[in-house]
Amino acid sequence: MSAESLHLWLEQTWNEQQSLRLRLRSCLHESTSPFQRIAVYDSFALGRVLALGGTITLSEADEAIYAEGLVHPALRCHSAPRRVLIIGGGDGSVCREVCRYPDVESITVVEIDQTVTEIVREYFPTLGASLDDPRVDLVIDDAHRFLSTNTDCWDIIIIDADSLHSTANHVVQPVPIGSLLEQRLAQGGILVAPLGLPAFAASTCRDQLRELAQRFATAAVYQFTTPSMIGQQWAVAWCSQERVPELIEPAPACTGELEYWAPDLQASLFALPRHRQRQLGLA
CB 248 within 8 A of CB 263: no
Cis peptide before 250 (omega within 30 of 0): yes
The reply to whether 18 and 141 lie within a common domain is: no
CATH code of the domain in which 23 resides: 2.30.140.10
The reply to whether 31 and 125 lie within a common domain is: no
* pLDDT tens-digit readout, 85-119: 999 999 999 999 999 999 999 999 999 999 999 99
How would you label 36-63 residue by residue, b for 16+ Cβ within 10 Å and e otherwise?
Answer: bebbbbbbeebbbbbbbeeebbbbbebb
pLDDT of residue 6: 59
At 156 the three-state DSSP class reads strand
The reply to whether 54 and 80 lie within a common domain is: no
The reply to whether 55 and 69 lie within a common domain is: no
The reply to whether 27 and 123 lie within a common domain is: no
CATH code of the domain in which 216 resides: 3.40.50.150
* Spatial distance between the Cα atoms of 165 and 146, rounded to a whole number of angstroms: 15
The reply to whether 22 and 146 lie within a common domain is: no
Compute CA 56 distance to the chain's CA centroid, rounded to the nearest angstrom: 13
CB 86 within 8 A of CB 95: yes
- Tell me whether strands 136-140 and 106-111 are parallel, antiparallel or unpaired: parallel
The reply to whether 132 and 155 lie within a common domain is: yes
pLDDT of residue 177: 83
| Domain assignment of residue 35, given as a range | 3-59
Mean pLDDT value across residues 73-80: 96
How would you label 84-104 residue by residue, b for 16+ Cβ within 10 Å and e otherwise?
Answer: bbbbbbbbbbbbbbbbbbeeb
CB 191 within 8 A of CB 266: no
Task: Give the residue numbers annotated as catalytic, written as ranges.
Answer: 160
* Spatial distance between the Cα atoms of 114 and 194, rounded to a whole number of angstroms: 22
The reply to whether 115 and 206 lie within a common domain is: yes
Is the pLDDT assigned to residue 279 strictly greater than 70?
Answer: yes
The reply to whether 122 and 203 lie within a common domain is: yes
CB 84 within 8 A of CB 107: yes
pTM score, whole prediction? 0.93
Burial class (CB in 10 A: 0-12, 13-18, 19+), 4: exposed
Mean pLDDT value across residues 72-81: 97
15, 39, 59 - which closes a domain: 59
The reply to whether 110 and 200 lie within a common domain is: yes
Average model confidence (pLDDT) across the chain = 91
At 7 the three-state DSSP class reads coil
The reply to whether 110 and 72 lie within a common domain is: yes
* pLDDT tens-digit readout, 203-247: 999 999 999 999 999 999 999 998 887 666 889 999 999 999 999
The reply to whether 8 and 136 lie within a common domain is: no
CB 42 within 8 A of CB 65: no
* pLDDT tens-digit readout, 255-269: 999 999 999 999 999
Question: Closest Cα to residue 163, out of 197, 196, 210?
Answer: 196
Question: What is the number of domains present in the chain?
Answer: 2
* Spatial distance between the Cα atoms of 63 and 7, rounded to a whole number of angstroms: 25
Q: What single letter denotes the amino acid at residue 223?
A: Q
pLDDT of residue 207: 92
User: Widest CA span of the chain, in angstroms?
Assistant: 65
Facing residues of 23 across strands? 9
